[in-house]
Chain A
Amino acid sequence: AQRVTQPEKLLSVFKGAPVELKCNYSYSGSPELFWYVQYSRQRLQLLLRHISRESIKGFTADLNKGETSFHLKKPFAQEEDSAMYYCALFNYQLIWGAGTKLIIKP
């Protein structure tokens, strides 16, 4: 079965500390993976897609097929990174993880 798992409901780190939001997936084919972010009172928006291998707002995510993971990382957290983060797998529809609430403490 296709599934996306985000094991942490809540992650709290201090400003300037590194951040890693975990995402594991279950999919038999070649996955298309995304990270979406939802800031307070804003709409869900695309942060990263694995195929582009880009860095957005200092965040990167590497697909590890061996570990079936697509963890989101940022070396130095900023207060404005506080938000809800969702990992999603695309297979004719988006299959979502439960989300991780990231809180950056000053």
Chain B
Amino acid sequence: AQKVTQAQTEISVVEKEDVTLDCVYETRDTTYYLFWYKQPPSGELVFLIRRNSFDEQNEISGRYSWNFQKSTSSFNFTITASQVVDSAVYFCALSEDAGNNRKLIWGLGTSLAVNP
């Protein structure tokens, strides 16, 4: 069965600290996709990144970076030099590539508070 675990419920850091959000997934499929979404206080979820199971290269986008390791079934998200605007709930999600399947399995989210 598919499952996404975000063990960290809440994280609080001081501005400019680096912070890593953990995501562990379970799936029996060899072809799957992993995602991170951000939900700021305004409420709308915002897509951050998609990774397929055949691409284990790390991704960097500005202060954001993602580390995908199939050996540990993890897809961790690091924010470097955090800022107050990074305060949000971050969700990791998984979907299996099965034809028309577009169902995302969501983690429960990690609430990040970046304090000035």
A, B co-complexed: no
Binding site for B on A (CB under 8 A): none
